[in-house]
């Protein structure tokens, strides 16, 4: 079994952004030379998520609106007694999950036709990381 680790750094211009990282995942896979295995894609912060969905601007805006409806930004979270103001971002992370595991088959990400990997930043404008980890042969 071989193992490869890479860290992607982000410092978004806006507080909330959805960034397509499929290309970075594919580049990393190609450079590793792994033909069969798994790639973990996991945010290293607790106010950002990672998900696989469609790369279509409308649905991305719909997704962010849904999350805002379920866990709205606002002043009334208990978390804010610590001085923080990003309670909503923690809760959006909880609802969307902070990671996906991508299948690697025959040297490629084994994706269906519309699958795209997104980094979902809910509290940006600071340096944050996503970990990519391949295990396989």
Of 15-23, 25-33, 78-86, which part binds its own copies (CB under 8 A)? 78-86
- Which residue among 28, 77, 119, 122 contacts its own copies (CB under 8 A)? 77
Scanning residues 89 to 118, which ones bind its own copies (CB under 8 A)? 90-91, 93-101, 103, 105, 110-115
Of 12-20, 25-33, 35-43, which part binds its own copies (CB under 8 A)? 35-43
Residue 13 beta carbon to its own copies: minimum distance, rounded to whole angstroms: 21
Cα(51)–Cα(63) distance, integer angstroms: 11
8: which 2 tokens? Answer: 């992607």
Contact flag: residue 44 with its own copies (CB under 8 A): yes
Cα(9)–Cα(24) distance, integer angstroms: 11
- From first CA to last CA, the distance across the chain in angstroms is 6
Of 8-16, 23-31, 37-45, which part binds its own copies (CB under 8 A)? 37-45
Cα(34)–Cα(11) distance, integer angstroms: 29
Choose among 91, 58, 59, 57: nearest CA to 72: 91
Contact flag: residue 85 with its own copies (CB under 8 A): no
Choose among 40, 6, 12, 22: nearest CA to 122: 12
Cα(93)–Cα(69) distance, integer angstroms: 14
Contacts with its own copies, residue ranges (CB under 8 A): 1, 3, 5, 36-38, 40, 42-46, 51-54, 56-59, 61-63, 66, 70-71, 77-82, 87, 90-91, 93-101, 103, 105, 110-115, 128-129, 131, 133, 135-137
């Amino acid at each position: 079994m071989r193992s490869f680790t890479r860290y992607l750094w982000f410092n978004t211009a806006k507080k909330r952004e959805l960034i397509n990282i499929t290309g970075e995942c594919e580049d990393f896979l190609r450079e590793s030379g792994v033909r069969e295995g798994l790639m973990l894609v996991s945010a290293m912060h607790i106010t950002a998520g990672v998900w696989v969905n469609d790369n279509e601007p409308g649905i991305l805006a719909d997704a962010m609106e849904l999350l805002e409806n379920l866990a709205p930004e606002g002043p009334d979270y208990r978390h804010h007694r610590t001085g923080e103001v990003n309670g909503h971002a923690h809760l959006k992370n909880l609802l969307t999950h902070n990671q996906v595991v991508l299948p690697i088959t025959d040297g490629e990400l084994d994706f269906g036709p519309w699958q795209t990997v997104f980094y979902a930043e809910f509290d940006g404008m600071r340096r944050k990381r996503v970990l990519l980890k391949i295990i396989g042969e």
